[in-house]
């Protein structure tokens, strides 16, 4: 997947660099569009077009070779209205400073945007009251001042295989229901995928890494988050793989949460299901805060410094997960350990009042203190039926053993020779 993405970026970059600098074209593009009948296919010749265009009838606009549309004004570079417009194989650059402006502005329905590459100083693509729009195989690079793809009151759209980097929020949905986001890559941005007041959206197989937060779901109902990968969202002090804030009835299934500060943060959210996820190498695997009535089962907690923590949360069902750090005994051979797993919220309670004490995270003295001052049972997070074995495989990244053997022998030989030198009498 990473390979595919890298290739894609390389190709796009090659196209950008290889483009003739001043290949101005005769006649404005807008006039060609205005003259074209409905259903026409307009092929754009290779070159740089410094203009903004507006399309409001069903036509196909297709770049032949390297086509760059560029504008730096307050208007979006390309605006789509009406129904059934197709944009294909075009580079769009928005270099203006207008706060809400974008590379491509879309309203109306049934448009198709594919094979585009968008460079923007503000937003990449904005969907405003749009429906059933398809955006796919597209590359968006921003300057952290606007969202990659921004949906406002837009329904049933589909966003597939879009690579977004250096923007504010990769994919941002507000009051937009029933959209499908599939196989997108978002990196080096604030939030990877950000859902606000948006219901019944589907997130499949997206990769969100090196962002402040992999994905944030806020006040949304019925979101399905399946087979995504949220990794290395750990640079920011508030970073996490997935944040469910006041989210309701979310289905989080089959995802990977790797090396985030917090894998999944569930705050004031209810009735969410977290199942069969791989939660690995995070500082905190799952954290609950004022969250009730959620359930987590069949997840694999591997290598997290702190597997789970909960404060002011009750009634969350945590049975049947795999915890690599817990003690396990299976007396009757049913694959379920007889020893319950418990997570003590002592550290969270301590740092909730005085955040400065977060410095004591995993400090040897604090572990001692925590063991002495055990929290009362009703405050613990308990998995009463932890699994004996992992339900999925975890792969190790390791250095080649030759390097390690060299390291080992250098250490032994250096110290040995110094030792012999030291022992010698003058």
Query: Does 363 help bind other proteins (rule: CB under 8 A)?
Result: yes
- Minimum distance of other proteins from residue 49's CB (angstroms): 43
Residue 168 and residue 144 in contact, taking contact as beta carbons nearer than 8 Å: yes
Q: How far is CA 200 from CA 177, 270, 285, in A?
A: 6, 16, 26
| 303, 317, 339, 384: which one binds other proteins (CB under 8 A) | 303
Q: Which two tokens stand for residue 331?
A: 């007396």
Residue 389: exposure state from Cβ atoms within 10 A (0-12, 13-18, ≥19):
exposed
Total of residues contacting other proteins (CB under 8 A): 63
Instruction: Give the nearer residue to other proteins in terms of CB position, either 38 or 424.
Output: 424
- Minimum distance of other proteins from residue 354's CB (angstroms): 6
| 15, 137, 357, 385: which one binds other proteins (CB under 8 A) | 357
| 21, 237, 329, 331: which one binds other proteins (CB under 8 A) | 237
* 141-161: b (≥16 Cβ within 10 Å) or e: bbeeebbbbbbebbbbbebbb
- Minimum distance of other proteins from residue 73's CB (angstroms): 38
Instruction: Give the nearer residue to other proteins in terms of CB position, either 7 or 403.
Output: 403
| 208 beta partners | 186, 230
- Minimum distance of other proteins from residue 269's CB (angstroms): 22
Instruction: Give the nearer residue to other proteins in terms of CB position, either 147 or 300.
Output: 300
Task: Quickly count helices (H) and strands (E) in the chain.
Answer: 5, 37
Residue 120 and residue 135 in contact, taking contact as beta carbons nearer than 8 Å: no
Phi then psi for residue 90, to 5 deg, are: -130, 145
Instruction: Give the nearer residue to other proteins in terms of CB position, either 201 or 306.
Output: 306
Residue with tokens 């063991």: 371
- Minimum distance of other proteins from residue 393's CB (angstroms): 9
Query: Does 14 help bind other proteins (rule: CB under 8 A)?
Result: no
Phi then psi for residue 208, to 5 deg, are: -130, 110
Q: Which two tokens stand for residue 212?
A: 């402040």
- Minimum distance of other proteins from residue 93's CB (angstroms): 33
| 28, 31, 143, 238: which one binds other proteins (CB under 8 A) | 238
Query: Does 352 help bind other proteins (rule: CB under 8 A)?
Result: no
Q: Show the binding pattern over residues 378-407: x = contacts other proteins (CB under 8 A), - = does not.
A: ------------x---x-xxxx-x-xxx-x
Residue 104's Cβ-side half-sphere holds a number of Cα atoms within 13 Å equal to 32
The residues in 326-345 that bind other proteins, with binding defined as CB under 8 A, are: none
The residues in 51-110 that bind other proteins, with binding defined as CB under 8 A, are: none
Query: Does 38 help bind other proteins (rule: CB under 8 A)?
Result: no
| 364, 376, 377, 378: which one binds other proteins (CB under 8 A) | 364
The span from the CA of 370 to the CA of 247, in Å, is 32
Q: Which two tokens stand for residue 24?
A: 């101005």
Binding segment for other proteins among 144-152, 216-224, 305-313, 329-337 (CB under 8 A)?
A: 305-313
Query: Does 367 help bind other proteins (rule: CB under 8 A)?
Result: yes
CA angle 120, 232, 137 (to 5 degrees): 40
Query: Does 366 help bind other proteins (rule: CB under 8 A)?
Result: yes
The span from the CA of 243 to the CA of 165, in Å, is 20
The span from the CA of 103 to the CA of 260, in Å, is 32
Q: Which two tokens stand for residue 102?
A: 């974008």
| 184, 228, 234, 294: which one binds other proteins (CB under 8 A) | 234
Instruction: Give the nearer residue to other proteins in terms of CB position, either 1 or 412.
Output: 412
Instruction: Give the nearer residue to other proteins in terms of CB position, either 26 or 237.
Output: 237
Instruction: Give the nearer residue to other proteins in terms of CB position, either 1 or 373.
Output: 373
- Minimum distance of other proteins from residue 89's CB (angstroms): 39
3-state per-residue secondary structure call for 282-311: CCEEEEEECCECCEEECCEEECCCEEEEEE
Instruction: Give the nearer residue to other proteins in terms of CB position, either 155 or 278.
Output: 278
- Minimum distance of other proteins from residue 335's CB (angstroms): 18
Instruction: Give the nearer residue to other proteins in terms of CB position, either 38 or 425.
Output: 425
The long-range contacts involving 170-173, CB below 8 angstroms and separated by at least 24 positions, are 170/194, 170/208, 170/211, 171/147, 172/147, 172/148, 172/196, 173/198, 173/201
The span from the CA of 409 to the CA of 414, in Å, is 8
| 351, 375, 384, 391: which one binds other proteins (CB under 8 A) | 351
Of residues 296, 229, 215, the one with CA closest to residue 258: 229
Phi then psi for residue 353, to 5 deg, are: -80, -45
Contact positions vs other proteins (CB under 8 A) = 234-239, 259, 261, 280-281, 283-284, 302-307, 324-325, 350-351, 354-369, 390, 394, 396-399, 401, 403-405, 407-412, 414-416, 418-419, 422-425
């Amino acid at each position: 997947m990473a390979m595919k993405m890298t290739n894609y970026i390389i190709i796009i970059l090659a196209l950008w660099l290889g483009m003739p600098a001043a290949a101005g074209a005769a006649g404005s593009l807008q006039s060609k569009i205005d003259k074209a009948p409905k259903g026409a296919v307009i092929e754009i010749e290779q070159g740089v077009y410094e203009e903004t265009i507006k399309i409001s009838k069903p036509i196909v606009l297709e770049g032949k070779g390297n086509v760059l549309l560029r504008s730096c004004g307050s208007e979006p570079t390309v605006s789509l209205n009406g129904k059934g417009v197709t944009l294909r194989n075009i580079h769009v650059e928005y270099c203006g400073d207008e706060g809400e402006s974008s590379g491509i502005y879309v309203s109306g329905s049934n448009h198709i945007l594919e094979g585009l590459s968008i460079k923007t100083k503000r937003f990449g693509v904005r969907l405003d009251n749009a429906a059933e729009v398809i955006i796919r195989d597209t590359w968006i690079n921003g300057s952290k001042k606007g969202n990659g793809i921004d949906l406002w009151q837009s329904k049933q759209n589909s966003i597939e295989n879009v690579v977004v980097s250096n923007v504010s929020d990769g994919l941002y949905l507000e009051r937009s229901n029933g959209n499908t986001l599939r196989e997108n890559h978002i990196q080096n941005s604030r939030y990877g995928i950000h859902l606000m007041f948006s219901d019944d959206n589907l997130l499949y197989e997206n990769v969100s890494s090196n962002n402040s937060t992999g994905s944030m779901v806020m006040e949304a109902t019925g979101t399905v988050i399946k087979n995504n990968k949220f990794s290395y969202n750990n640079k920011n002090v508030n970073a996490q793989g997935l944040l469910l804030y006041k989210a309701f009835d979310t289905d989080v299934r089959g995802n990977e949460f790797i090396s985030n500060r917090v894998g999944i943060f569930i705050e004031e959210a209810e009735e969410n299901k977290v199942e069969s996820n791989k939660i690995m190498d995070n500082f905190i695997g799952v954290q609950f805060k004022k969250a009730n009535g959620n359930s987590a089962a069949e997840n694999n907690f591997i290598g997290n410094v702190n597997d789970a923590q909960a404060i002011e949360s009750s009634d969350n069902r945590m049975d049947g997960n795999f915890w690599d750090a817990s003690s396990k005994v299976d007396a009757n051979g049913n694959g379920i350990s007889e020893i319950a797993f418990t997570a003590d919220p002592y550290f969270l309670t301590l740092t909730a009042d005085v955040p400065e004490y977060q410095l004591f995270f995993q400090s040897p003295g604090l572990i001692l203190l925590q063991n002495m001052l055990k929290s009362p049972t009703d405050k613990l997070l308990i998995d009463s039926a932890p699994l004996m074995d992992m339900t999925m495989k975890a792969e190790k990244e390791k250095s080649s053993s030759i390097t390690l053997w060299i390291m080992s022998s250098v250490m032994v030989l250096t110290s040995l020779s110094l030792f012999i030198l030291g022992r010698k009498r003058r």
